[in-house]
Amino acid sequence: MSQAIERLPSPLPFPFSRAVKAGGFLFLSGQVPLIATGNVVTAAILARNPPKKPETKFLIKNSPCYIGLNKDEPKLRAKVNEILANAKRDGSLAAISKKWLGADLPKDL
């Protein structure tokens, strides 16, 4: 059985509400019980509001990032791969991930 969602009015035009009542909960503007997002957004939420402490419940998909290079630049590709391999080996890549994303590197990286 679905429950109605009640929107409490706002002076702003739709879809803005000051608050929403749903399932016995009252959410003030800007509050949600759960979000699905990437690690960059999660890190930004944590940086702006440390008490929120986003918690990973489950991983939908590990979505790696890539570095785009021109196909005709094999020397540049080799150098980028070398830099990344060194950063992974000496722990600096893990430190960057922890600092900027608030998370450890994936184990399978």
**Higher pLDDT pick, 72 / 52:** 72
pLDDT at residue 81 greater than cutoff 90: yes
CA-CA-CA-CA dihedral for 35, 38, 42, 45, to nearest 10: -80
Q: How many of the other CB atoms lie within 10 Å of CB of 67? A: 10
Q: Which residues contact residue 65 at a Cβ distance below 8 angstroms, ignoring those fewer than 6 apart?
A: none
Residues 45 and 93 in one domain: yes
Full residue range of the structural domain in which residue 27 is found: 1-33
Residues 65 and 95 in one domain: yes
Q: Within a domain: residue 52?
A: yes
Q: Within a domain: residue 107?
A: no
d(CA 79, CA 91): 18
pLDDT of residue 1: 45
Q: Structural domain tally of the chain?
A: 2
Per cent of the chain over pLDDT 90 is 26
Tokens of residue 71, six digits: 């196909």
Q: Within a domain: residue 17?
A: yes
Evaluate if pTM is beyond 0.85: no
Residues 43 and 93 in one domain: yes
The whole-chain average pLDDT of the chain stands at 78
Exposed/middle/buried for residue 94 (C-beta within 10 Å: 0-12, 13-18, 19+): middle
Tokens of residue 73, six digits: 């630049």
